[in-house]
Amino acid sequence: MSNTIVIALGGNALGANLPEQMEAVKKTSKAIADLIGEGDRVVIAHGNGPQVGMIQNAFTELVRSDPAKYIPVPLSVCVAMSQGYIGYDLQNFLREELRDRGISLDVATVLTQVEVDPADPAFAHPTKPIGAFMTKEEADALVKERDYTVTEDAGRGYRRVVASPAPKAIVEIDTIRSLVESDHVVVACGGGGSPVFKTEGHHLKGAAAVIDKDFAACTLAKQLDADMLIILTAVEKVAIHFGTPEQRDLDTLTPEEAKKYIADGEFAPGSMLPKVQAALDFAESKPERTALITLLEKAKDGIAGKTGTRIMT
């Protein structure tokens, strides 16, 4: 039986703009095709930081040019837009790479909504900067008109900040599961998915928030009952005492070790910390599940146990 693997792609696998993205996705597709060629079922989640920022900035410029005509677009819609155009490149280049190798699998992108809890404490303390830099006057106007939370950013101007709540459930999980079971390669939960919460009836309302893509990938992997979660990043292995003469790369991590290193502050917030936390969550969710953190180029070797950092019980 083939294994089901969920891959969380970091931003370095996608580039910072459209030309860079097209080149990066070609390289990324080759590495993913290597895994598919081994017979594994693959589901791909990805980040969207540069892309959603570009979309936000474009709409900000429109609003600035004619405030009477244009209004700011909700962040959840911007995330959906980024899912669409990143998925478009991923599915096309990956399909081409697979066909070049004689593999006739289809690739599909699912615009994914991810349920969050409106009572999540993160909403009371928004910290994630998004969108363009603003003057104080522009920031004050958005605070007054739209109740935005803004913060001064290292002397470079003001930016909007939003919450980063924990994902509760993948709304389109049945669709994704059906595609996986029919041997499609699926791109889902792009940018952590568009965050939504339930309101009256069956309505899902978009939340002014962003979901960490590693946590979304973990939730997706658990709901799919995947065998492995692979979190791809800019380093080959997780390390403690990172960047010091005492740096030590880790081949394996038990949940107990991971929790101790997290408590000791070994992993940088916003960088390696959420990756280790997501990997730990997945590994602890079921005894036979394994999480792997490594470089994109080393994913195939990591699955074979030759490199990377494995977190398992």
- Indicate which residues carry an active-site annotation: 11-12, 128, 213, 275
Return the half-sphere exposure (C-beta side, CA atoms, 13 A cut-off) of residue 299. Answer: 30
Estimate to the nearest angstrom the gap between the alpha carbon of 61 and the chain centroid: 26
